[in-house]
Amino acid sequence: MVSDDVESNAKQQVESVLFSASKPISVKEIKEITGLSSQKISSTLKQLRKEYADERKTAMDVIKIGSKYVMQLKSNYHNQSMMIAEPAIDEAILKTLALIAFHQPIKQSNLRRMAGEKIYEHVDFLSDLQLIHTKKHGATEMITLTKHFPEYFGIEATTPEEIRSFLMKKVAKDTIKHQSY
């Protein structure tokens, strides 16, 4: 039988890795860092997700994105943290990215009609960040999100439909919030 100290130590190890990671991290990566078994890490992650979601009174959450895990702020704390956090991506580029996310797959020529000439620079920037993928499509490019998009933004949605739904809910929630002021 495993002692409570060993159980607690495993949980603390996994939690510290999640807290320190700058991006979503896989069970395999946690295993390489901690030396814990994959089974132990998986059960600990399940336990931490439940604790952070239901039991702990904290602003943090542990979520699963695809096959990776991340510790991040709960969504109801995002707005106040945004007031002090420096944005990593310019607002105009974020708008282009939102259009891509919502309409993917989208032809670059259609995106240009929607947002103007500036999108060519935005597409290059977002490609460099590996948030989007472009593929030749006749005389234009077809643009889709990469698997790094949900990881980068810490959202659980991974399919185009889930991402579209997430964006619609986010916009509706923000619109209602701004109308109530």
Per-residue pLDDT tens digits of the chain, which is 181 residues long: 444 565 669 999 999 999 988 788 999 999 999 999 999 999 999 999 999 888 888 888 898 888 889 888 877 776 555 545 555 778 888 889 989 998 999 999 999 999 999 999 999 999 988 899 999 999 999 999 998 888 787 788 888 888 888 887 776 665 565 555 4
Instruction: Please report, as a single letter, which amino acid is at residue 59.
Output: A
**Total structural domains within the chain:** 2
Beta bridge partners of 25: 69
Q: Are residues 99 and 181 in the same domain?
A: yes
Q: Are residues 93 and 68 in the same domain?
A: no
| Nearest alpha carbon to residue 149 among 166, 132, 169, 162 | 132
Q: Are residues 97 and 160 in the same domain?
A: yes
Q: Are residues 70 and 118 in the same domain?
A: no
| Nearest alpha carbon to residue 124 among 116, 115, 133, 137 | 133
pLDDT at 67: 87
Given 21, 56, 79, the domain boundary residue is 79
Q: Quick count: other Cβ atoms within 10 Å of Cβ 9?
A: 13
What residues make up the domain containing 28? 4-79
Q: Are residues 74 and 53 in the same domain?
A: yes
Q: Are residues 16 and 73 in the same domain?
A: yes
**pTM (two decimals):** 0.56
Given 23, 49, 79, the domain boundary residue is 79
Cα–Cα distance measured from residue 116 to residue 112, given in angstroms and rounded to the nearest whole number: 5
Cα–Cα distance measured from residue 60 to residue 63, given in angstroms and rounded to the nearest whole number: 10
10: domain CATH number is 1.10.10.10
C-beta of residue 167 within 8 angstroms of C-beta of residue 155:
no
| Nearest alpha carbon to residue 62 among 153, 156, 148, 146 | 156
pLDDT at 180: 52
pLDDT at 1: 42
Please tell me what DSSP assigns to residue 75.
G
Given 79, 103, 121, the domain boundary residue is 79
Q: Are residues 44 and 100 in the same domain?
A: no
pLDDT at 7: 63
Residue 166's alpha-carbon distances to 18, 104, 146, 177, in angstroms, are: 24, 14, 16, 16
Cα–Cα distance measured from residue 142 to residue 110, given in angstroms and rounded to the nearest whole number: 10
